[in-house]
Amino acid sequence: MFNESSAGEEQNGESDFSDEIIVNQIFSGQKDLFRLLVRRYEKAVYGMGCSFFRNPEDASDFTQEVFLKIYRNLQGYEGRSRFSTWLYRIAYNTAINEVNRRKEYQSLAEEDMNKLSSSGDNPERIALREAARTAVQAAVKELPERFAICIDLFFFYDCSYQEIEVITGIPVNTIKSHVFRAKALLREKLELLSED
């Protein structure tokens, strides 16, 4: 639906326009330029969908839903923040609402160890990875559900505190506090493992 591409657009330099210029052009009637915004952010939105839903089909449906919402609500973008911030906020809220409806958010810390360990790992590395996963999982379980995504984004997706704030709307200091707690639990679990 949104995956159409145009070879001519690359030649015309349209892909070099800022998001804000593209949005203003759409406002002035060039609605076909919406495809440029989709192309820019489709992978990121799909990645967020995979984080929440862990299923390619659900992540794809989520991506379609987010871009439909963006298209329908584009007039609500007032330019007070970057367009990407506005878009990610809509994507995050859409995901949270769907997760709350389904009640199925599962942290990546709960991923099956068989899927995480490569066949070449030695028993010590597997044990350390299991201890780390257990520690992060324990930290996630201590947190309210809405903060679990912060831990996942930090530990499993290498997002900075600022990036997590942009995506979730949770203040940086709150994110730091929860990541600090997760790191302390992780350190404690690893120290216990090394004493054995």
pLDDT tens per residue across span 44-72 = 899 888 878 878 999 999 999 999 999 99
Portion of the chain with pLDDT greater than 70, in percent: 69
pLDDT value of position 194: 61
Q: Among 78, 102, 126, where does a domain finish?
A: 102
How far apart are alpha carbons 50 and 35 in whole angstroms?
22
pTM (whole model) above 0.95 = no
Asked if residue 137 is part of any domain, the answer here is yes
To 10 degrees, the CA torsion angle through 135, 139, 141, 146?
A: -140
Asked if residue 189 is part of any domain, the answer here is yes
pLDDT value of position 88: 85
- Average pLDDT of the segment spanning 170-179: 89
For the chain, the domain total comes to 2
Q: Is the pLDDT of residue 165 over 60?
A: yes
pLDDT value of position 14: 61
Q: Is the domain of 94 the same as that of 177?
A: no
What does the pLDDT look like over 108-159, one tens digit per residue?
A: 554 444 444 444 567 777 777 777 767 666 666 666 666 777 777 787 666 7
How far is the CA of 71 from the CAs of 23, 35, 65, 93, 97, in angstroms?
A: 10, 10, 10, 16, 19
Structure tokens at 47: 């990645």
Asked if residue 117 is part of any domain, the answer here is yes
Q: Is the pLDDT of residue 173 over 90?
A: yes
- Average pLDDT of the segment spanning 76-102: 84
Q: What is the CATH number of the domain that holds 116?
A: 1.10.10.10
Mean pLDDT, the chain, rounded, equals: 76
pLDDT value of position 69: 95
Residues of the domain holding 12:
7-102
Q: Among 53, 82, 102, where does a domain finish?
A: 102
How far apart are alpha carbons 79 and 40 in whole angstroms?
18
- Tokens 């406002």 locate to 27
